[in-house]
Chain A
Amino acid sequence: MLRPEGARSLSEADWTDVVATARNANLLGKLATTLEQAGEAAPAAPQRHLTGALMLSARQRQSVVWEAHQIDAALAPLGHPVVLLKGAAYAMSDHAAAGGRLFGDIDLLVPREAIGDVEHRLMGNGWTPIKTDAYDQRYYRQWMHEIPPLVHAQRGTVVDIHHTILPLTAKHRPDPGRIFRHARAIAGFDRLMTPAPEDLIVHSLCHLAHEGEVNNLLRDLHDVACLLDEHATDPDFPARLADAAADHDLLDPCALGLALVARYFDRALMRQAATSLSARLGRPASTALIALYDDALQPSPTGHCTATGHLARARIYLRSHRLRMPLAMLLRHLSRKAWMRMTTRPKSVPQEG
């Protein structure tokens, strides 16, 4: 993805590994977009996989735009600001990060005092709660930064409603007010807005540095690299980004996130932004943590992962939960979840045949 011209020298066997690895890392559509923009094409057989990934991405993006319109219509009568986060924000503001990306749930940020109204309006317009279990409901409402997700009864699409960008129990205390103050209107929408670029990037960085699973980490790093690229010609941008991170009390996770972005998608701007953030923080991002992510990130065609990799993934998982809540609360929560998992059956059986 850094050197699309390298596609020309790949053998068919190489392409087998490239396609499988990219699919496992949830990067197949982004790879397809990167190649297309560079004017490179794969041989016919692997190209089918790339084309299929682009079709899926285009379809999901179309669906995100449609959902955004539905949500906007449902929330139009309210007076509160409603800001799209992550994937939906990339799609609606036409960021390069959206190219070939797959989209999942739609994430909304609304003022905490507006949660009840927003939930009520959405439930009156066809959305219904997924988690009906009493424990889950209490877990979300008491401790988290979002309420239990809502799913649309007919379309099956999911909306996550947040009132801040980190759990209430977390160490850092970001400032959702800043996101509302700087948010930008989207043409053609009454209520929905997207965050200012600095806030969008700070949120993406904070998210990836707090995420417990590394499955989508390369995808998330690439998202941030694309977002940063759009400001490559603005010499003041690194400083504005550092201001936003400081305002949100998120210098630490952002420094780590940017160091990872600079490590995997190395461009002058990424390094500059990383340096500017560490300077504001007063120290560089933890080299031990960066090494931990290096161990955990082992993209492969079969999903094979070494023992070191598994250990690193387990440590990242535990670290993410430690960042979310104090230890005693964490132990209580994880044992409760483990018990619930043992008493329910996940996964499907082979489909119709």
Chain B
Amino acid sequence: MDTTLHIPPFTVRLQSPFPDVEQHLARFYGRYDRAADGCFVDFHVRLVPGEWIHRVWRPQVRFLVDDQNPFIPLPADQAAPMFEWGLNWTVASRSLGLSVLHAAVLGKGDDAIILPGFPGAGKSTLCASLALLEGWRLFSDELAILDPATGWLLPHPRPISLKNQSIDIVAAFPGAHIGPRFEDTRKGTVAHAAVPDASVVQASKPGRPRWLVFPRFEAGAATSVVEIPKAEAFALIQQQSFNRDRLGDVGFDTLGRMLSDVRCYATVYGSTSGGIEGIQRIVSDS
């Protein structure tokens, strides 16, 4: 397979001999535009079989972007998740002058909410519930991309990556399309949820940062929402910047401008509906 896709704001060429990856693309990227021949390609990704004996014995997959090989090989049956992980790494480390944060982003109209991703905070499940149950437009479950020129967020919709218990929770949402489960990855069991069609259709429409929310899931907790000072939010969010250091002044200014555009909150919740309620309170508050 050799195909070139527009996954806004990037054009990605993917070459792969793995049938799993072809199915992954058909399942999750069917509605994305295919690029015309001769179009500029931002990232040339190749998934290739393991070297030497690992072509046949315990077959492996390797991820190459241009001539870089940033990862150790994985078992060949994890080729599809490796494409997603590898592309995340590529977007984060080759930022093309864009500021990239580790955060989920969703939009309502022109407004966007940023949910930074501290491990175990429940960001992916909350993100899936807002996108699938509440009609928010999915920008990304993983990568918040700020355009320094405008200060607005650029959508980069890709399948939502779910881990372990969150897979069953999201699978039960009406309208959820969950792909195959990949057992025994280094993140445990992993599955992907499809991006709602409306988010793919509007993937070139940027959003103005309005809310920066630090979510935390605590089993059984009652929903709480507190507004937090911007200085505190800045200290937290800059730990989540993948490439602030690669952009220098521009990266710092872009984060600063985003902070001045948003109101910052922390929310604790104990269930899917509790998480949604917290976000609703924040949105109606400001």
User: Which A residues fall within an 8 A CB radius of B?
Assistant: 11-13, 15-16, 20, 23-24, 43, 45-46, 48-49, 51-52, 55-56, 58-59, 62, 300-304, 347-353
Contact = CB atoms under 8 A, between A and B. Distances in A.
A350 B186 CA distance: 9
B85 interface: yes
Contact of A352 (B95, B97, B102, B246): B102
A12 B40 contact: yes
Tell me whether chain A's interface is mostly helix, strand or loop, or mixed.
helix
Q: Which 5 A-B pairs have the closest CB atoms?
A: A303-B67, A59-B248, A48-B96, A350-B85, A12-B40
Contacts of A58: 248-249
Interface residues of B, number: 44
Contacts of A24: 66-67
B44 A51 contact: no
A45 B97 contact: no
B272 interface: no
A348 B96 contact: no
B168 to A, nearest CB: 20
Contacts of A352: 102, 117, 119
Interface of B: 11, 37-42, 44, 46, 63-64, 66-68, 70-72, 74, 82, 84-86, 88-89, 92, 94-98, 102, 117, 119, 142, 161, 186-187, 245-251
B244 to A, nearest CB: 9
Given A55-B250, A302-B67, A350 B11 contact: no
Contact of A11 (B38, B67, B70, B187): B38
B44 A12 contact: no
A15 B39 CA distance: 9
A218 to B, nearest CB: 14
B40 A59 contact: no
A311 B215 CA distance: 55
Contacts of A304: 67
A348 B71 CA distance: 6
Contacts of B89: 350-351, 353
B72 A347 contact: yes
